[in-house]
Homo-oligomer: A and B are copies of this chain.
């Protein structure tokens, strides 16, 4: 059977192995997963209660206006419900934005290394990728590449802070930068980890209401998968000028987010204590990861997220990841991003301690 031309350029995605399968394959009892930036404190109690209370409604289609969650988000950020769209993960909003703006005749721009889904979705519509030589966000490099290919570039991604590297631009410099971008270029500000960055340094805080007022071409993305502890439920959101949200709504499939995910997200948004504990655990444990790196002479970028990335010179990241896996510890090898580095999610104290012990012994033997 013939498929649309574009499929010839796409690879079939190979899903990662499940924890249980890994445990079996490597004969380890407890697998510690520090690979997907999930919240190590689990699910917030309020979200958990919401899931259990609403489980018996699972036969009913969700309220497709999603007004409860959209209003709660609008209230939190000082916007209107009409400025908000909910997706099955913020990934899905990236997909909608891609389909709204990109095609085989244009392009998107990002820094050298950023969230892989930007390019995966762009490839599905045949759009070209421009990336700066700098792996992290360098506004001058982004600007000069933008100026050079202005007529082609229809989406510009800023990942603040950046996944999988962890660095973060200041909000002020982002605002200044936006003034030089054409109104017809959609600027997606992926703020999936921005609550972590803001907690560490208020200068990093992106205020969607403020940005949207000045820049009708900005789309702000947030998620419930990280800080809010709902990675398994797939809920994210986009915030923008109403005209832009309406355009994304044209491409949204009805009932794109499930009823328990909507209920849990609304409850999680209200669980301030869980959020506070998650942030405090994250950054107190982050210090241990930085200390470990210094003690073992590993390069790292100070992280504004819930993960840290270690870089290697002589040792090989794939080899190290494989050795950790044999000990039952899953981290993210960044080889597929062209880096000799691993990304480690900040876990619970006992998980991190086990990682330090095992990794130190691997590094010494290597």
A residues neighboring B (CB under 8 Å) = 1-4, 7, 10-13, 15-21, 33, 36, 38-39, 41-43, 47-48, 51-52, 55-67, 88-89, 91-92, 95, 99-103, 117, 121, 124, 183-184, 186, 216-217, 225, 229-234, 243-244, 246-247, 249-261, 264
Contacts and interface: CB of A to CB of B under 8 A. Distances in A.
Given A3-B101, A51-B260, A55-B52, A255 B89 contact: yes
| Majority-rule SS of A interface residues | loop
Contact of A39 (B10, B15, B59, B264): B59
A58 B267 CA distance: 13
17 contacts: A1-B186, A1-B243, A16-B64, A18-B65, A21-B67, A33-B60, A36-B61, A43-B55, A52-B52, A58-B230, A58-B232, A59-B229, A61-B232, A121-B253, A233-B258, A234-B256, A234-B257
Contacts of A41: 59
Contacts of A39: 59
B60 A231 contact: yes
Task: Report the copy number of this chain in the oligomer.
Answer: 2
Contacts of A47: 58
A52 B256 CA distance: 22
A241 to B, nearest CB: 9
A64 B86 CA distance: 21
A96 to B, nearest CB: 11
Contacts of A253: 89, 91-92, 95, 117, 121
Contacts of A255: 89, 91, 234
A18 B262 CA distance: 14
